Structure 1
Amino acid sequence: MDTTTDPRPLLTRALGQLARLIAAVPAGRLDGPTPCEEFDVRALLRHLVGGADAASAIGETGTRGVLTPAPDVPDDGWTAAYDAARARLTAAWADDTKLDMPLTMPWGAMPGRAYLFSGCVLEMAAHAWDLSQALGSPFPLDQELAECALEWAHRALPAERRGEGVPFAPVRPAPEGADAYVRLAAWLGRAV
């Protein structure tokens, strides 16, 4: 994958995979833990909806606002909330010119396409694994999507770039023969 590639097909796959996982969340699991230690399932869903809305706003305005979790959503409303955020995000980045739109993010200046890879596809793939693990792996995840996210993570988040101000723990070893999601989770510092 290079920085001239259109990330929107991967974004569509990442959004669809998360939508399927969110639809599989039973109300009784919302307070359950996830591998992302700062989130239980409900907090992770709030983060995913809020993140999609924030990415939408960047596509709509060309500027970064403050990432805020989604407002309170009824326990049975997460699928609808995510579907609305997903539709908004897809529409916000539909214009091809936005792929080369210059953005200034906390981690550096980049074109819109690089933001979609790092701020969306990578983030969504990582959290898809978190949610899948929290739900007991209800279905196989898109391995090709994780391979692309892992390739981007290796470039954008090198092992030596961890510590203060970086929201990822040190790289952890992945078990021999681990799938792409486990290797991605380990690269991002998750216990696998």
Structure 2
Amino acid sequence: MDLIQAHGVAMTEFDRRVREIASDQWELGTPCREWSVRDLVGHLVYEQLWAPELLAGCTIRQVGDRFDHDNLGDDPLVSWVVAAAAARESWLDRHALAKSVHVSSGVIDSAEYCWQMTLDLAVHAWDLARSIGADEKLDPDLASTVLQYVEPRIADWSGTSMFDSPVPVSPDADDQTRLIGLLGRKP
């Protein structure tokens, strides 16, 4: 699975879970300890809002605090759909992976940025499913592809606030279970 395809599948996985949130589930807790379901969806909406700006060449300073507020409003599903569609459209540009983008840590290749976005969509699709009692099974090819991205980087992320410490899983665990465990979740 190539990166753009993986991003699309990850976005679809997250989108499917957002559409399953019942009106009384927005304040439920998530595996992201300090986030409710609403906070988790708000985080992903925030990220999607940044993608078109950064892929268009804007710097963090140019974007400023434009998205530093409640981006979900009264209809979180609509907010998600609109932000996700704009982000996906930006990633589908034929030059999207051949750029450099400005992120909070500096300038990086857009392919690395896309991997980060894909990882976040995939793991948070699982988080959201766990929170609302939806199907936790991710697309197996997506889980395998994202695992291949994560495994060589997980040691670099140790001690950061990105993920909790890895959770041990069975040596014969499937790729999704290994991915979720590496990212500090209890499968």
Relative to the length of structure 2, the TM-score reads 0.84
| Corresponding residue for residue 77 of structure 2 | 79
User: What are structure 2's unaligned runs of at least 5 residues?
Assistant: none
Could you tell me how far 1:70 is from its partner in structure 2? Answer: 4.5
Distance 1:161 1:141, change over 3 A: closer
Aligned length: 183
Task: Specify which of 2, 5, 12 is matched with residue 9 of structure 1.
Answer: 5
SS at match of 1:159: helix
**Which residue identity is paired with 1:16?**
T
Tell me how far 1:69 sits from its aligned partner. Answer: 6.0
Change in Cα spacing, 1:31 to 1:108, as seen in structure 2 (3 Å) is same
Q: TM-score, normalised by structure 1?
A: 0.82
Runs of 5+ unmatched residues, structure 1: none
- Determine if the alignment matches structure 1 residue 35 to structure 2 residue 34: no
Mark the CA change 1:152 to 1:62 in structure 2 (over 3 Å): closer, same or farther. farther
- Distance in 2 separating the partners of 1:69 and 1:180: 36
Relative distance call for 1:10 and 1:68 in structure 2 (3 A) is farther
SS at structure 2 position matched to 1:137: coil
* Cα offset, 1:97, TM superposition: 1.9
| Alignment correspondent of 1:181 | 176
Cα distance, 1:68 vs structure 2: 4.0
1:145-184 matches, cutoff 5 A: 145-155=142-152, 157-159=153-155, 161-164=157-160, 166-175=161-170, 177-184=172-179
Q: Which amino acid aligns with 2:135?
A: P
Structure 1 counterpart of 2:113: 115
Residue of structure 2 in register with 1:142 after alignment: 139
2:6/2:142 contact within 8 Å kept: yes
Query: Quick check: 1:46–1:69 contact (8 Å CA) kept in 2?
Result: no
Shift of 1:104: 4.4
Structure 2 vs 1, CA of residues 62 and 152 (structure 1 numbering), >3 Å: closer, same or farther? farther
TM superposition shift of 1:106: 4.3
For residues 112 and 153 of structure 1, what CA distance do their matches in structure 2 show?
17
Counterparts of 1:152 and 1:107, CA distance in 2: 19
2:39 is aligned with 1:18: no
Which of 91, 94, 103 aligns to 2:92? It is: 94
> Cα distance, 1:144 vs. partner?
1.4
Residue by residue, what CA displacement relative to the aligned partner does 1:86-137 show, whole Å, maximum 9, x if unpaired? 110022223222211123444564321121012x110111101100101213
After TM superposition, give the deviation of residue 161 of structure 1 in Å. Answer: 3.6
- Determine what percentage of the aligned residue pairs are the same residue: 25
Q: CA deviation at 1:178?
A: 3.7
Whether contact under 8 Å (2:25, 2:37) holds in the other structure is: yes
- d(CA) in 2 for partners of 1:145 and 1:69? 31
RMSD over equivalenced CA pairs, Å: 2.4
Runs of 4+ more than 6 Å apart: none
